[in-house]
Amino acid sequence: MVKCNSCDSDIKQKESVLSCSRPACKLQYHLACVPNKQGNPSSTWVCPACKIKQTRRGDNSDTPVKTTCSEEEFVNTKSRSRNPPAVSGSGSVDEEKPYDILATIRSELEQVFRRELPNFLAKVTESVSKALESKFLELEKTVRTVSDLYDGIKSTVEKSTSSVKKLQTENKNLNDQIKTLQTKLNNMEEASLRQEQWSRLQNIEIVGVPEAKEESLPDVLNNIVKHLNVPLDPHELDFIHRIQAKRQVKGQPRSLVIRFQNRNKRDAILSAARKCGGITSRDIGMQGELKNIYINEHLTIHNKQLLSSCKKKAKTNNYKFVWTKNCRIYTRKAENSPYLLISCEDDLKKII
């Protein structure tokens, strides 16, 4: 619905109105809101807004000014708008009253806004577009830089991952080789120890025989076997000598190592010594301080250490018997208990 450009009220269908005769102006007014003093016909009537534009170029002394009306005048005006005065056949108005200057100003402002707002919005849009374009370019540059850095890091990580996998494979292969070599080394060491111990199967070791200057070791051996009642032919003896201990204890004599031509003679002497229950220096005709003499199998250093560890472990766990036979170490907890063969350090775990 069309509104009056003066009072901003809706123009009803039956109300009398005046329309501006200017082709470019489409404004309409109530007859009561814009009196036509000159009585111009409606076909030639010019609205106040267009008159203001015209008077800017000439004399505007006749331009009406809309005064602020009181509430009572506003009510009268509205009443008159509902009951418009009679209009002559020529369309002129009998009486012209002041028009609303605010409506004119609003009209002017609307026209200014219509004219300037598109340009203003275009400039703002252009400025914002340029700013956004600049920011987008910076963002694109930053994203490209970050992307390049990411690609570089990704490439480095992939190379590092490949190198790590290669090193892991090499490390696994080396570990497998080490395990294989360690197994071979252990087998070789065990074989060497067995071979070393096997070479001593015809030997006995006598500990505790006092040393003397210009002593005759074969005579000492003859005295020992005589005490044990074991006959010994000189041809059955291969060699006899003293051995230097790895850690010599002051006042302790060096041990005797005797090798026989066959194991039977060695076994006979060892069996007789176990049955004898012990020999002293007096038993073999030696003077001086009384010394205990022990006849043992000739064990390797490794087996001697293993025997010592076995004795300690057996004592801790209340095992009664620890002995050697054919250079092998055995232990038993009681007379009726099964024996345990101790061949290596891991076998000590059996003693519980």
Which CA distances in Å does 175 have to 152, 178, 210? Answer: 34, 5, 53
Task: Give the domain 201-298 fold.
Answer: Alpha-Beta Plaits (3.30.70)
Q: Residue 36 contacts by C-beta under 8 Å, 6 or more apart in sequence?
A: 18, 45, 92, 93, 96
93 backbone dihedrals φ, ψ, rounded to 5°: -100, 135
Whole-number pLDDT of residue 79: 44
Per-residue pLDDT, 70: 43
3-state secondary structure of 88: coil
Give which of 291, 293, 284, 296 is closest to 223, Cα–Cα. Answer: 284
**Kind and range of the H or E run holding 17:** strand 17-19
Q: Which of the residue ranges 4-8, 184-188, 239-243 would you say has the lowest mean pLDDT?
A: 4-8
Q: Is the pLDDT of residue 86 over 60?
A: no
CB 332 within 8 A of CB 338: yes
Q: What is the mean pLDDT of the chain?
A: 82
The token pair at 217 is 């070791």
pLDDT, greater one: 95 or 334:
334
pLDDT at 81 over 50: no
Task: Name the helix (H) or strand (E) containing 230.
Answer: none
Burial (CB < 10 A; 0-12, 13-18, 19+), residue 189, is exposed
Given the DSSP bridges, would you call strands 28-30 and 17-19 parallel, antiparallel or unpaired? antiparallel
- Say yes or no to pLDDT of 78 above 80: no
Question: For the segment 220-264, what is each residue's pLDDT rounded down to a tens digit?
Answer: 999 999 999 999 999 999 999 998 877 777 778 999 999 999 999
pLDDT at 63 over 90: no
Q: Say whether pLDDT at 67 is over 70.
A: no
- For residues 201-213, give the mean pLDDT: 92
DSSP 94: S
Give the angle subtended at the CA of 151 by the CAs of 145 and 152, to the nearest 5°.
90
Q: Counting every residue, how long is the chain?
A: 352
- pLDDT (0 to 100) of residue 17: 81
Residue tagged 């003397």 (tokens)? 212
Q: How far, in Å, CA of 21 to CA of 50, rounded?
A: 10
Comparison of pLDDT for 115 and 269, the residue scoring more: 269
Q: List the one residue out of 307, 320, 292, 294 whose CA is nearest residue 348.
A: 307
* Residues 321-345 pLDDT 10s: 999 998 999 999 998 999 999 998 9
CA distance 288 to 42: 167
